[in-house]
Amino acid sequence: MKKIKNSISITFFIIILLVIISLGFYYYIENKKTKNTDNQITKDIEQEVKTTLTDTGLISKSITKTTTECIKNVVPCSQQKTLLEVDELVRVGSSENLKTLALFIETLPPGDYLQEVIRRTATITNTDSLPEVISLIQTSKNPDVIRVAQEIFARKADEESIKKVLDIYNSKKTSSELRDLIERTLTYVYQTEMVNQVYINLLNDDSISDGIFTSITSALAMDGRPPSVDALTRKLNTLAIAKNCLYFITEECATEKILILSAAIMDKIDNPLAEQSLQTAASGENKFSTNPLTRTTAITALRKFPSQETKDLLKVLEEDPSVSFIATEILESLKYFFDTPH
């Protein structure tokens, strides 16, 4: 009987012990789950806040960490995986990222892969990269890197960056090769409304060099919208009056800037939006096209716009003794176009 009681006691004790152990294990698991859930919620909240701050511009995208294991050859990667890193660096578009991409481009051999990396890198839109863009234009010896920098500058340049480039250009320490590069770079800057106004202001700055004047004039002519064309014809008119120019450029009025302006107006304007501004300048109907040289230059430029309106204007100008000779010449050159049904 005593043995049976002892056996029951032991069994009961074991059951109680197992219950205690089970309860302890249960509470341990539940506590761990709660901590993991809290940690995940915390991480989710942190990520959401970081994303919100980045998207709203309250923190700079340039501080976002981006892996560069493939680009820096830390680990072997396929070209496709490396291009994903390129895309992420481009998306953030910081100066540091552009520097990393420029160094990567310098390591690549010629070929389609290099061209694809160049193409993607040149699509950086973050204006925070402009200091590095200017630095690459100024210091890089790699033509592919310079090309990337020029393309980014052409699309994203602002007044401040244009002034910085001009300061470099005007420095006595700047080489003639770098000056030539800056001139080419400024020629192809996309003419946003802000850049267009900066260029028009520069056009009227008599202190700029003939090289920069050529770049500005070419950019405005290739833009070809009315504000650009009006600025060019007004500037030509001002210079031509000062030099008493007649219908054509003579030795007496053949200054470098008059030659640059007249050539740009006649040869580089082909935007259809320019036609009306050229017609106005050709007609001499406003105070900004009173000089004969301004009018003959505009008439010559109209050869690229053989519309009915241009034809009608040229016929009227044939009766104007001051410009009849050039109007007749342009009409004759467009005769085939006018006489051919379209």
3-state secondary structure 265-305: HHHHCCCHHHHHHHHHHHHCCCHHHCCHHHHHHHHHHHHHC
Asked if residue 180 has pLDDT above 50, the reply is yes
Total of domains in the chain: 1
Alpha-carbon distance of 288 to 237, in angstroms, equals 6
Tell me if 119 is assigned to some domain.
Answer: no
If one compares 53 and 262, the residue with the highest pLDDT of the two is 262
288 within domain boundaries? yes
276-310 pLDDT, tens digit each: 999 999 998 888 888 999 999 999 999 999 999 99
Q: Is residue 234 part of a domain?
A: yes
Structural domain includes residue 167: no
Higher confidence at residue 165 or residue 66?
165
CB 299 within 8 A of CB 233: no
- As a whole number, the mean pLDDT across the chain is 85
Domain that holds residue 290: 191-301
249: in domain: yes
Three-state DSSP class for residue 55: helix
Residue 242 is assigned to a structural domain of this protein: yes
- 318 is a domain residue: no
**Token digits for 61?**
């995208």
In a domain, 185, yes or no: no
